Amino acid sequence: MGKLTLLYSREAIAERVRALSETINRDYADKELVLVGILRGTFVFLADLVRLLKVPVLVDFVGVSSYGFGTESSQQITLTKDLQLPVTGKHVLIVEDILDSGLTVDFVLTFLRQRQPASLKVCTLIDKRQRRLIDVPVDYVGFELEGGFVAGYGIDCAEQYRSLPDIYRVDSGEG
């Protein structure tokens, strides 16, 4: 697939997830929180985050598709899995692995706003702001990254490398 270059060690990831959890615990003190993970890349991040939260938490997932098996977004977002939990009147935090173009998160925000939550915020492990096509609000950010493809810690690159415990930049070796 390509050359892997370490970006974030498992220790650095754990520290960022811990810091995010502390902020979320403070912001949602005395509230019940519904975490909505965007499948599939966020499952490892969400699991680690949930274990550190002290506030009452419910967890659900939405599935969306935009990348398929390639590395370029089709820019057509489709819902592949709906929520099972009701979120009307609840405090909802979308949990995403990588916020890149903003298309996926914008789609999920629009989808969830129709369910009329009490509040709706976004948490992403990696924010690639420079690649934004749609400006979406981001309330909690683990790491900011300029660009490139990454994999590991549940994040895939063309369905490869999800099982790696650290996060790597994936260089294609082309060009």
Residues annotated as catalytic are 100
- CA-nearest of 30, 25, 8, 14 to 140 is 25
Contact 86, 114 (CB under 8 A): no
Angle at the Cα of 129 from the Cα atoms of 127 and 131, rounded to 5 degrees: 115
96-131: b (≥16 Cβ within 10 Å) or e: bbbbbbbbbbbbbbebbeeeebeebbbbbbbbbeeb
Omega of the bond leading into 26 within 30 degrees of 0 (cis):
no
Contacts of 141 (CB under 8 A, 6+ apart): 123, 124, 127
- For residue 126, give both structure tokens: 């990696």
Structural tokens at position 10: 């498992």
Residues constituting the chain:
175
